[in-house]
Amino acid sequence: MRQCLNENSYIKSIPAGIALSVLACAINSAFAADAIDLGAVGASGSGSSGSVPVAAKSAPSQSSLAARSAQSVISEEYIRNDLTPAADFSQVIQKAPGMWSVSPNGPGNGQTTTYFRGFADGDYTITFDGIPFQDTNSPTHHTWVFFPSQFLGGAVIDRSPGSASTLGPANFGGSINLLSRNLEPHKRTSVDASYGSWNTQYLGLEHETGQFGSDGSSNLLVNAHEMKSDGYQTLNSEKQDALSAKYNYAVSNDTALTLFASGIQLNANQPNTGNPTRAQVAQHGNNYLLQNTDPTQTNYSPYNFYYVSTDFVYAAITSNLGNGWKLDDKLYSYAYHNHQHYQNKAATPNTAAFNTAAIDKLNAYVTNGNIFRLNRETATGTLRTGLWSEVADTNRFQIPSNAITWQDQVLPNFHEKYTTTLLQPFVEYEYKFTKDLNITPGIKYASYNENFTQFADNGKTVGSLGGAPSVSHSHTYTTALPSLDAHYMIQQNWSAYVQYAMGSEIPPTNVFDAPGGNIGTTTPSMVKSRTLQIGSVWKSDQYTLDVDAYHIQKDNAYSSSPCTVNGVTDTCYYANGTATSQGVEAESNIVLGGGYSLYLNGTFGSTKYDASGQNAANAPSDTEVLGVDYKLASWDAGWFTQRIGKMYNDNGAYHEAITIDPFTVSNLFVNYTVKNLGGFAKQAKIQLGINNLFNNQSIVGVTAGTAGTASAPYVVSPNDQLVLLPERSMTLALKVDF
């Protein structure tokens, strides 16, 4: 990551072209600061004054000396060199401390969920260049249609609710902050292609203009690619077409404009469940999912398919207003349109039962918003204030249908439209108590309003409504979220922090699916968390080391599991009791010499319900990552092994019902760059990637196929749905720069 510190102090004295690079760098840092105050990833240590320590330069993940909470910064070099071209953002972040996810259909070939500290997707915020994005029915995310690795120039993971200036709908657990690509000063056109296991093909074209225009005040990066794969699981194919563009313009030496736009179209054959049953695996093998021989079954391939499109655009302006004042404003819009068809119940074609056995499903929303920030730096500290405002319009339905004709029934299982209005004003003041000690109190006010129109259905949710075509209702959640942190520079290359912060999250909209649309007199509570943590960051030319300890109290979290309502498979939500997460985390990068460096991280902790002392689902007792990196001359190679410790899955309302044994996955990447080609090309890079090197195909998740009881919360069933690691896969890629 570029060093982006203190440039504004001399920006007025440099030409516009250089000012563009400085401002562009400042913009990326500012966007990261929307979630956390990123500050310096490196700092002068044992090397020359003002240099970035060697260990910090080579670290795939590390914290910042300016960090005021537990964080990890993922480098762009790791994304470009140690991931397959088909990777999505879940692969980018999963090697940071405590982070883990699994892609059962192969890396980048399907929807995945990332966990950390016992928090699942939906319990934390994800942003892109500081802009939160999420579903509107719950703050979850879709890894396969938002921000593939080609769009990303790094990531900052904050394992805390953050400070008052940390914006997002679900800072309950923390935030994952994806960063766009850094623009380059020189012109470049790149063509890259790859081929790998399961007929996975990737073809990409990228053009970087370099600085152009008056005094080099403009810069543009455009990326287009197509990825398609048969997938590891049988007949679970995917095709993704994606385009992104980022433009920077130096309006003046004090003001910069950034424009970004992206669009993705995905066609996929994944069924609604995405995982095989225990009986299917026993009969057909670990990769079994869909078949095309028996049209009476739910996993008949022609009955199951997705059409998903997304777009994401923003315009941002940053300006040094003088006298210590700085402005950062972002106007944005993004959309998600998922039209899915799937067979929900086994039935024979050309029968009455077949006409209602499939589901015609839509989840579509358009979100428009603005993030306004105003900072002032003085000799005594920094004032940060602003407002996040957002409006999202949603249309969702599920209609029983015929999987051959796709003739829908008159009445849906449910159909609802709603508007979500969100406001988050904030203020915080980072007070320079001494030269080395900063104390930052702050408060954020979060307001969410949901206006629902739920249409008459077949009785599954709101029902017939007594002949009325629809029912409307509104719900508003508000809360104040304080934060307080202290940051101390012990030495120039050693810092420490302590933080207390509150986070929140509103319930999923499914909790309002009640007869007549009436949820009664009590609106479900907003989820809140209270996080206390302490940590330290140290860097030198040979080592980086980040250590933190945390204690989190969580209120009334909602969990989900499959259930049957009026004979239809659905998802039911359960309000859990309070829980406590606590543990320690550490990561380090060690320069061994001769081009080698060693990366290590480890976590040890627990997430348990206070009433029972039982473990929460998908919260490993420990995680570890061991990575060896080699960079010398034209060679760049990396080997990363990740171990996920023992954890549990729930069975409906029963916790700690299913034990998931520890598992380990190793990935290997070898890159060779041919430089100074001369003539038609500048350089070429060849990459060999191997995921799951030792072919571990462990069961890493189980959804119980039968309901549990108090005496037997889980009994092995042939109907259990299994999440399995995909087998070893290989990718060979070539990238040529012109």
CB-facing half-sphere around the CA of 279: CA atoms within 13 A = 6
Check pLDDT > 70 for residue 45: no
Cα dist. 677→70, 205, 217, 681 in Å?
Answer: 44, 19, 30, 6
For residue 480, the surrounding DSSP H or E stretch is: strand 470-491
Residue 386 forms beta bridges with which residues?
373, 426
> Rounded to whole angstroms, how far apart are CA atoms 217 and 253?
10
pLDDT at 36: 38
pLDDT higher at 694 or 508: 694
Check pLDDT > 70 for residue 1: no
Is the sign of the CA dihedral 275, 460, 452, 561 positive or negative? negative
pTM beyond 0.85, yes or no: yes
Q: Are 607 and 102 in contact (CB under 8 A)?
A: no
pLDDT at 524: 75
pLDDT at 618: 95
Query: Quick one: pLDDT band at residue 557, thresholds 50, 70, 90?
Result: low
> Rounded to whole angstroms, how far apart are CA atoms 57 and 493?
14
Task: Give SS3 for 214.
Answer: helix
Give residues with Cβ within 8 angstroms of 141, minimum separation 6.
121, 126, 133, 134, 135
Check pLDDT > 50 for residue 20: no
Q: What is the mean pLDDT of residues 549-564?
A: 74
Query: Quick one: pLDDT band at residue 563, thresholds 50, 70, 90?
Result: low
> Rounded to whole angstroms, how far apart are CA atoms 364 and 235?
26
Place of tokens 């009433």: 611
pLDDT higher at 34 or 445: 445
361-418 per-position pLDDT tens digit: 999 999 999 999 999 999 999 999 999 999 999 999 999 999 999 999 999 999 999 9
Check pLDDT > 70 for residue 631: yes
pLDDT higher at 210 or 54: 210
Query: Quick one: pLDDT band at residue 51, thresholds 50, 70, 90?
Result: low
> Rounded to whole angstroms, how far apart are CA atoms 145 and 238?
11
Burial of 336 (0-12, 13-18, 19+ CB in 10 A): buried
DSSP 102-151: --TT-TTSS---EEBTTBPTTSSEEEETTEE---SSSS---TTTS--GGG
Helix, strand, coil percentages for the chain (3-state, nearest 5): 10, 55, 35
Burial of 491 (0-12, 13-18, 19+ CB in 10 A): exposed
CB-facing half-sphere around the CA of 59: CA atoms within 13 A = 30
CATH 3.40.395.10 fits 7-737, yes or no: no
pLDDT at 38: 33
Q: Are 406 and 360 in contact (CB under 8 A)?
A: yes
Place of tokens 């720069």: 737
Check pLDDT > 50 for residue 14: no
Q: For a pLDDT cut of 90, what percent of the chain falls above it?
A: 80
Q: What is the mean pLDDT of the chain?
A: 90
Residue closest to 401 by CA, chosen among 361, 458, 363, 357: 357
Is the sign of the CA dihedral 73, 40, 179, 228 positive or negative? negative
466-482 per-position pLDDT tens digit: 788 998 988 899 999 99
pLDDT at 343: 96
Q: Are 713 and 612 in contact (CB under 8 A)?
A: no
Check pLDDT > 80 for residue 460: no
Return the domain boundaries, the chain: 7-737
The two tokens of residue 421 are 């209005």
Task: Give SS3 for 600.
Answer: strand
The two tokens of residue 641 are 């092994």
